[in-house]
Amino acid sequence: MSKLVDSLLVALTDNAPWVALTGAGISHASGIPTYRDHSGRWLGSQPIQHQDFIDEPAARRRYWSRSVFGWPRVAAALPNATHYALAQLESAGVLSGIITQNVDRLHQKAGSQSVIDLHGRLDQVKCLDCGAMETRQSIQQMLVASNNLPTPETLTLRPDGDADLPSDVIEDFAVPECKHCGGVVMPDVVFFGGSVPQSRAQECYDLIDASRGMLVIGSSLSVYSGFRFCRYLVGQDKPLLILNQGDTRADDICTQKYDTEPFSLLTECAARVAQKLAEVAHD
């Protein structure tokens, strides 16, 4: 492990600043599971599709009825060592920012300042008709007050705040409405099959332009919305380092891959960077 730490540390410090692209794998230790296993296979049924939520009332009932149980666990999740390590590296000037595919806001909770929430944020809800925004917590209170909820026992949580639930509970579930216009409300996230807003994607490209390389951490890059940034970076002849256990879509174009205890590796590197900075400050 020490040789891997030395290798990554040299790469990070010699080519700073880097941009980090993070995926669901880094939030697993915070109690938020991933969609896929290390081989890229789905864990459980496939998640809700973006257009289905918009077009189909039944899909909205399914999502909100399951989300009412899944959201509290996401809301209570705390950053883990990997989130704090990335915040340390940003503070030290090694990272210029983070592009995250996660919607849990744990990077911000850990203290990272420059974060682009590529797929949105689960703690906000937007009206599709008038555009009004509400907090997810206020929607939770509405859901609890409007529905006769069963006592949760063994439910499977998903990264987007969804949770498995029997079909008979879903059928009669009262979904939330916009308190301003009565319109359809949706979590302020890009579900599977949806498109990232162009302005947000451009922010990511600008961050990559201002960086000298990219770290991919905890993502299989199965979704193109993240993989495209790897291709863009490599097209600029900048190094791409992958820290992930299991195959990724960018394995054949990366400069180097670290798949042995990748999160511990990053945490140790961040600790050494912080130690060096402390020694310089003391001198």
Which of 50, 119, 180, 282 is flagged as catalytic?
Answer: 119
User: What's the token pair of residue 107?
Assistant: 């990077």
Q: Which of 130, 180, 162 is nearest to 59 (CA)?
A: 162
Q: Is 119 a catalytic residue?
A: yes
Q: How many CA atoms lie within 13 A of 63 on its CB side?
A: 27
Which H or E run contains 221? none
Say which residues have a Cβ less than 8 Å from residue 109's Cβ, sequence separation at least 6: 78, 79, 83
Question: How many whole angstroms separate alpha carbon 273 and alpha carbon 278?
Answer: 9
**Pairing verdict, β 185-189 and 120-127:** antiparallel
Exposure of 3 by Cβ count < 10 A (0-12 exposed, 13-18 middle, 19+ buried)?
Answer: exposed
User: What's the token pair of residue 115?
Assistant: 């974060």
Residue with tokens 């919607």: 103
Question: How many whole angstroms separate alpha carbon 112 and alpha carbon 90?
Answer: 7
Collapsing DSSP states into helix, strand and coil, what is residue 187?
A: strand
Given a contact cutoff of 8 angstroms between Cβ atoms, the answer to whether 69 and 49 are in contact is no
- Residue 158 DSSP symbol: -
Q: What are phi and psi of 121, to 5 degrees?
A: -140, 130
Collapsing DSSP states into helix, strand and coil, what is residue 37?
A: coil
Residues that are catalytic: 119
